[in-house]
Amino acid sequence: MNRIDRLTGMILLLQGQRVITAEQIAAHFEISVRTVYRDLSALGEAGVPIIAEAGVGYSLMRGYHMPPVMFTEDEAAALFMSGEVTEQVADESLRQSLRSALLKVRSVLPQEKRDYLHRLKDKVGVRFRQAGGDDRRESLMPIQDAVVRRRCLEIRYNTANRGAITRRVVEPLGLVLYARQWHLIAWCRLREDVRDFRLDRMASWELLDECYEGHPNFSVKEFLRENIESHELTPATVIVEREVLERFRAEMPCTPLSEETLPDGRVRLELLTFSLAWLTGWLLGFGVRVEALEPPELREAVREAALAIAARHAGEFAAV
């Protein structure tokens, strides 16, 4: 990035923050703190009203706004691609807002850049399978708003997907996408602890008028890290044929440790899993293209399950 683009970006960064430190600016642009000081000084000399508060950081004078900046082709294309990815992981509430925002972006682009995006749309697609969920439900935007505004939710939750519905009042702390599912991280008043709720297991939810206080230092990232580390993980080893390797990696519900390409072209993978029983069922979906090696109980479980499936299909078809 040249200096003019960086200075412009620095104004936009300041404009989007109440206050920001020199170290945060340096990390954002991947430059030294000394360079940040020089750039801020140059902006001040150019008439940009930057306020510096010792021990706090930098901000723009209230009321100052940089005129709208035109998108480059790369920036417009990046927004388009982000929209295509979001379409695959969002529900209709988020899709509608995204489409509206991208429509506004398109409207301010000159004709040649609009034509560029139109051609890009015809040539690029993003498709991957999102496990579970009901696309008809519109939860993401309202629940995201509840997280930001610290408003309580009353949910009816299918615990562990066993069909036992419990009614709870929760204090929403974060909304994250992992393991191909959206999860609400919230303080559960029923359990008196932080809990991880999958949105697809919510039978219903209601936004309450009550706002909660507390949890000022809660970190969603730290909670997820500790939650994962607190589970006992079991090492497993499998051999995957090259033809299904890409799909295996994309859908793998485990933590990968290592890969080794064997002389016959197959790939040996070592991984960590939360549940050997769950892993057994998932591996069966790859048929003979995946072989379970270790631990022995995994290999035996796959063999027994395959024999049971074969026995179920051995006789003639019986109408039910």
The domain that contains 10 carries what CATH number? 1.10.10.10
pLDDT for residue 124? 66
User: Are residue 217 and residue 152 in the same domain, yes or no?
Assistant: yes
Whether 109 and 76 have beta carbons less than 8 Å apart is answered as yes
The amino acid present at 26, given as its one-letter code, is A
Which segment, 109-118, 140-149, 160-169, is predicted with the most confidence on average?
140-149
DSSP 236-296: EEEEE-GGGHHHHHHH--SEEEEEEE-TTS-EEEEEEES-HHHHHHHHHTTGGGEEEEESH
Where is the domain boundary, 204, 230, 256? 230
Cβ-in-10-Å burial (0-12, 13-18, 19+) of 302 comes to buried
Measure the CA–CA gap between 208 and 165, rounded to whole angstroms: 19
Q: How many independent structural domains does the chain possess?
A: 4
User: Which range, of 76-80, 140-144, 274-278, averages the lowest pLDDT?
Assistant: 76-80
Quick: pLDDT tens for 220-250: 878 877 776 666 678 899 999 999 998 898 7
DSSP 17-53: -S-B-HHHHHHHHT--HHHHHHHHHHHHHTT--EEEE
Quick: pLDDT tens for 79-138: 777 777 777 777 777 777 777 777 777 777 777 877 877 777 766 666 554 544 444 456
Measure the CA–CA gap between 13 and 21, rounded to whole angstroms: 11
Quick: pLDDT tens for 12-41: 888 878 899 999 999 999 899 999 999 999
Q: Can you name the residues that pair with 187 across neighbouring β-strands? A: 171, 194
User: Are residue 149 and residue 223 in the same domain, yes or no?
Assistant: yes
Whether 210 and 151 have beta carbons less than 8 Å apart is answered as yes
- Tell me whether residue 318 is in a domain: no
pLDDT for residue 98? 79
Torsion angle of the four alpha carbons 150, 130, 104, 93, in this order, in degrees rounded to the nearest 10? -40
Where is the domain boundary, 230, 261, 284? 230
Q: Can you name the residues that pair with 268 across neighbouring β-strands? A: 239, 260
Measure the CA–CA gap between 186 and 209, rounded to whole angstroms: 17
Confidence of residue 78 (pLDDT cuts 50, 70, 90): confident
Measure the CA–CA gap between 173 and 186, rounded to whole angstroms: 5
Measure the CA–CA gap between 10 and 16, rounded to whole angstroms: 10
Average pLDDT, the chain: 83
DSSP 93-120: HHHHHHHHHHHHHHHTS-HHHHHHHHHH
Measure the CA–CA gap between 95 and 263, rounded to whole angstroms: 46
Measure the CA–CA gap between 80 and 21, rounded to whole angstroms: 31
- Tell me whether residue 131 is in a domain: no
Distances (CA, A) of 172 to 95, 223, 266: 22, 13, 45
The answer, yes or no, to whether residue 65 has pLDDT greater than 80, is no
User: Are residue 240 and residue 201 in the same domain, yes or no?
Assistant: no
| Whole-prediction pTM | 0.54
How many C-beta atoms lie closer than 10 Å to residue 49's C-beta?
A: 12
User: Are residue 89 and residue 101 in the same domain, yes or no?
Assistant: yes
Instruction: Report the CATH number at residue 252.
Output: 3.30.70
Domain range spanning residue 32?
3-60
